[in-house]
Amino acid sequence: MFITNGTKADVVNTVVRTGGPGVKWVSLILVDTGTEGFSVGRKLQKMGMLSSDTAELVYEDCFVPKENLIGEEGKGFYYLMAGLERERLSGAVLSYIMAELALEDSIEYAKTRIQFGTPIISYQAINHMIAEMATEIEAGRQLSYHTVSLMNAGVRCNKEASMAKYWCAEMLLRAVGKAVQIHGGYGFIREYRVERLYRDAKLQTIGGGTNQIMRNVILSEMGLRVR
């Protein structure tokens, strides 16, 4: 479920259980989409991120040759975990970039929208929202850059990557909410980019590990056990 580009893929990297319970029996296997028993159940109709499809995939008695195993049997969970720092960091970066777009559009609109004879950017209610957006975006950018510096130095940064994703995703929701508010009725209209950013933003708090999971990871990395 929720497989990005699932309707277009020729090969699917599939997480499977190749033995008993526990993570030591999780493996990765490539499944050709032409394999008998494999099918695309349906293309899911999403709220946002409409530029890529998301699908439900169905496996019914799919027999796959053993040479399709990726790496070693039973190491699939660890292969997946090894990529999470980069995935979460990329999610953080995408979030603050989307927030930057919302800020740019808001500034441009507020400069050109005239109300009561003056651009609305001159009103404190509007320019305070812009100042808040700019400050929170910069905080997210610097947290992401710090995580990049650790990763480039070969330092384990699971805590920092989780912090960056959590902060930037939450910040993005606040930023696009302010952007739509600044645009007023036009923020609700598809002619304006902030409407799309508003719909797309929510996924950032879900994909790659929900923000609730990010909190758990942060606490775990701090040495505080989470049950």
**Strand pairing of 11-17 and 26-32?**
antiparallel
pLDDT at 226: 58
Q: How many helices (H) and strands (E) does the chain have?
A: 6, 8
**Amino acid type, 69:** L
- pLDDT tens, position by position, 113-136: 999 999 999 999 999 999 999 999
| Phi/psi of residue 2, nearest 5 degrees | 65, 45
The closest of 222, 94, 95 to 159, measured between CA atoms, is: 222
pLDDT at 214: 96
Of the chain, the percentage scoring pLDDT greater than 70 comes to 99
CATH of domain 3-79: 2.40.110.10
pLDDT at 81: 87
Task: Fold for 83-221, please state it.
Answer: Butyryl-CoA Dehydrogenase, subunit A; domain 3 (1.20.140)
**Amino acid type, 90:** S
Q: Which of 56, 73, 87, 221 is catalytic?
A: 87
Q: What is the mean pLDDT of each run of 10 residues along the chain (227 residues)?
A: 94 94 93 96 94 95 95 94 91 97 98 96 97 98 97 95 98 98 97 97 95 95 81
Domain range list for the chain: 3-79, 83-221
* Residue 169 contacts residue 205 (beta carbons within 8 Å): yes
pLDDT at 227: 64
pLDDT at 2: 94
The closest of 84, 188, 182 to 126, measured between CA atoms, is: 182
List 26's β-bridge partners, or say none: 17
> If DSSP codes are grouped into helix, strand and coil, which group holds residue 49?
coil
- pLDDT tens, position by position, 194-226: 999 999 999 999 998 999 999 999 999 999 975
Per the annotation, the verdict on 87 as an active-site residue is yes
Other beta carbons less than 10 A from residue 218's beta carbon: 18
Structure tokens at 50: 């409409």
d(CA 160, CA 154) in angstroms, rounded, equals: 13
pLDDT at 95: 98
pLDDT at 82: 85
